[in-house]
Amino acid sequence: MSKNYAALANQILTALGGADNVVAVTHCMTRLRFVVQDNQRVDAPALKALHGVLGVVRSGKQCHVILGTTVSQASPEVPTLL
């Protein structure tokens, strides 16, 4: 069964407080790494509850969404939504 990574990317951005709250995004082997404008707009419990999200790590204005090895399928979808 294929996963709808565009929908997952959209759900992640919504939980991050919307596309306008994202300043920058990169990825590594297992994580989408976001820099956000306003930490108060990030809904970490909603992020953690998304199917496909393995965890969330926050530090300062950075929010790392852990997707595991599927990050390479999800990461190309994020810029199309920003």
Active-site position among 19, 24, 28, 57: 28
- Across the beta sheet with 22-27, the strand order is 22-27, 31-36, 62-66, 55-59
Residues 6 or more apart whose CB falls under 8 angstroms from that of 72 comprise 27
Which residues is 65 bridged to in the sheet? 32, 56
Q: Is 63 a catalytic residue?
A: no
Catalytic residue annotation: 28
